[in-house]
Amino acid sequence: MAIQRLIKFTLVFTLAVILMGAYTRLSDAGLGCPDWPGCYGHLAVPSASHDLANIETRFPDAQIEPEKAWLEMIHRYIAGTLGLMVLAILILCLKQPQAPKKLPVFIAALILFQAALGMWTVTMKLMPIVVMAHLIGGFSLFALLLLLYLRLKPLRIPGGDTYARKLIPLALASFGVLVIQIILGGWTSSNYAALACTTLPICEGNWVDNLRFADAFSPFQGDHPSFEFGVLDYATRMTIHVSHRIWAVVTAITLILLALKLRFAQSHIMRNSGYLLLFLVIAQVGLGISNVVMNLPLGIAVSHNGGAALLLLTLVFINYALWRKA
């Protein structure tokens, strides 16, 4: 079916947008273009001498960095393309009598809100709560597209799986634990706290006495000309980082427990899902440790974002299979 093929391609494209967004953010290119949706008033990064002269007048405080500006614009181009693909999915679903209607409408509304968050990310100068919301929106879009695909292509488990059905509470808990960890990861990244601790297993120094949870998780951090590179002090960033790291242990244990239990499922679909989940958790833990040990290398940091997205998709599939078809 054409709509199923389109959704599969859109899922891959959504992952590319998530990875490109992470690459742009981690390259400190989020303000490569200080305006929106264009770049210094242009649809592409300006390079002509007369355009640059005009920019100095219109944006007197801006310093043009073409590499960062192009990263930001490429991210906007592919995000815009993704929006068109979601619109096409919506139209096809509305035309097809048996296709879901509410879910594609919600997905279309979500991507419009994502566009608004993208604009606010720039106009509010990388305010952490907006940056994190933009990240969560991208992950939510990814998960809902998979859910729509599953709704259009019914999953069949011959004879059901009574053993796997008993794992519903654990699967739901795993999903909730992972969502919290993704939010903590987004908050860590948007507050530039990824390198607040550079030792393992927790943090250097007398970190327990310096925890500041109220400041660390306050959604509003005052008025600042820009939030680029963060505005919080070390102790507050350290609190964010430690919270993310400790909850990562909780997340890993919960997800590994689910994966190990799925090994005994009667259905090979559920067993394979468990093996995939186990592989992704181990890989994600390794990437997280590598970020600390290797001082946040760009490729590993971006892969860590991608790993979180794939874990989310895997748990969406497992929960869907257990609730709807087991």
Whole-structure pTM value: 0.92
Q: How far apart are CA 87 and CA 81, in angstroms?
A: 10
Radius of gyration of the chain from its Cα atoms, rounded to whole angstroms? 21
What whole-number percentage of the chain has pLDDT above 90? 72
Per DSSP, which regions of 56-194 are E strands? none
Q: How far apart are CA 188 and CA 241, in angstroms?
A: 6
Q: Please, which residues have CB within 8 angstroms of residue 136's CB and are 6 or more apart in sequence?
A: 182, 183, 186
State the pLDDT at residue 149: 95
State the pLDDT at residue 326: 44
State the pLDDT at residue 325: 55
47 and 171 Cβ atoms separated by less than 8 Å: no
Convert the pLDDT of each residue in 230-257 to its tens digit.
Answer: 999 999 999 999 999 999 999 999 999 9
Which active-site residues does the annotation give? 72
- Residues linked to residue 39 through DSSP beta bridges, in sequence order: 42
At 185, the amino acid letter reads: G
**Residue 150 token pair:** 């599953």
What 40-49 contacts at long range (C-beta under 8 Å, 24+ apart), as own/partner pairs, is: 40/64, 40/69, 44/73, 45/69, 45/70, 45/73
State the pLDDT at residue 218: 93
Q: How far apart are CA 312 and CA 316, in angstroms?
A: 6
